């Protein structure tokens, strides 16, 4: 009996180093749908102002966006939670769904490079 190779499982790419350059490269490679917004935000918040003061907030936002987008299952789950919250007619249901999104985003914020 011959062994069959298992179907390759898509893997979630690791988080990059926590620098604008490394994050942009990771987005371009693994979540290109975010790249135009990343670049526009970079231009508006950092490049055009010559002010690095907003850099920590910029990195925090895009760190989370990439952390979610790099995992298609997680990205679909977050999108579904948003959709269900938007359609909910019960305030407590909508609130619970959005709290779950918040928990996911908070957890993504804590990810370390290489994870």
CA torsion sign, 17 to 81 to 57 to 38?
Answer: positive
pLDDT at 39: 98
Nearest Cα neighbor of 18 from 53, 46, 58 is 58
Nearest to 96 by CA among 79, 33, 55, 88: 88
pLDDT at position 7: 45
**Digits of tens for pLDDT over the chain (115 positions)?**
444 444 444 689 999 999 999 999 999 999 999 999 999 999 999 999 999 999 999 999 999 999 999 999 999 999 999 999 999 999 999 999 999 999 999 999 999 999 9
- What pLDDT is recorded for position 106? 97
- Comparing CA positions, the residue from 40, 41, 15, 18 lying closest to residue 30 is 15
Task: Sort residue 16 into left (φ over 0), alpha (ψ -120 to 50) or beta.
Answer: beta
């Amino acid at each position: 009996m011959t062994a069959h190779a298992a179907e390759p499982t898509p893997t979630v790419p690791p988080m990059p180093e926590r620098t604008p350059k490394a994050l942009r490269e990771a987005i371009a490679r693994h979540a290109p749908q975010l790249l135009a917004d990343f670049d526009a935000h970079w231009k508006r918040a950092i490049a055009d102002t010559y002010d690095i003061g907003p850099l920590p907030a910029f990195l925090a936002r895009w760190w989370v966006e990439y952390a979610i987008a790099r995992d298609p299952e997680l990205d679909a789950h977050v999108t579904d939670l948003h959709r269900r919250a938007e359609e909910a007619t019960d305030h407590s249901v909508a609130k619970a769904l959005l709290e779950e999104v918040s928990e996911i985003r908070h957890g993504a914020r804590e990810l370390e490079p290489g994870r």
